[in-house]
Chains A and B, each alone.
Chain A
Amino acid sequence: QSALTQPPSASGSPGQSVTISCTGTSSDVGGYNHVSWYQQHPGRAPKLMIYEVSKRPSGVPDRFSGSKSGNTASLTVSGLQAEDEADYYCCSYAGNNLIFGGGTKLTVL
């Protein structure tokens, strides 16, 4: 199965909101409510930010939110802060398989 499709880059100024999309198919994103998002700073391990489409783990700021419509999931970061600058990856369950997106580099201008 092919990787989920994410825009290579996204940007916003401090305080603004930015949304990153993640497009799959009815066999992955559209077929299950098991979409997750990960933040990765350079040289660091990824960190879970959103799971099951819209749930936030303990400790993740409520500035981060997730949603899904059809075959496309989205991650919205509100009130952008400098520390939000990182790579973001979506991931979807697809039967006996887990598929990641190609990643989006978020730049805080």
Chain B
Amino acid sequence: VQLVESGGGLVKPGGSLRLSCAASGFTFSNAWMSWVRQAPGKGLEWVGRIRTETQGGTADYAAPVKGRFTISRDDSKNTLYLQMNSLKSEDTAVYYCVTYDLGYFGFWGQGTLVTVSS
């Protein structure tokens, strides 16, 4: 299993950014996927998860990001996305792409750093 995130960088407050996660080594279309973030020097925080297309492809979000972040997937490209809008300084974190299964996160990417600062 390999998960490779990309798209992180520096963005101004109120701005937008889209993260991508290229998946390989497993049947991506059969997997629920999730994003977990970690602010510098802090603990882990769940961002959201997305179901498989056969299970509706719908997503759930943590309260701090609901309405601002959108998780999507493209099974034809084995890619997971995180669209982040109206970014705030408190969204500064390393964002990890992870596989999700029955309440746990099995495989993790190496993470991509998002910095929200003026």
Contact = CB atoms under 8 A, between A and B. Distances in A.
* Contact-residue bracket for chain B: 20 to 34
B74 interface: no
* Contact-residue bracket for chain A: 20 to 34
Contacts of B102: 34, 51-52, 93
B43 A45 contact: no
Given A45-B110, A97-B62, A38 B105 contact: yes
Contacts, number: 64
A40 B46 CA distance: 16
B44 A34 contact: no
Interface of A: 3, 32, 34-36, 38, 40, 45-48, 51-52, 57, 89, 91-93, 96-103
Nearest to A50: B104
A48 B104 contact: yes
A3 B42 CA distance: 12
B43 A3 contact: yes
Interface in B59-118: 60, 62, 96, 102-111
Contact of A32 (B43, B49, B62, B103): B103
Interface of B: 34, 36, 43-46, 49, 60, 62, 96, 102-111
Contacts of A3: 43
Contacts of A103: 43-44
Contacts of A35: 103
B44 A46 contact: yes
- Chain A at the B interface: SS class: strand
Interface centre among B44, B62, B109 (most CB of A within 10 A): B44
Contacts of A98: 34, 46, 49, 62, 103
B104 A51 contact: yes
B44 A100 contact: yes
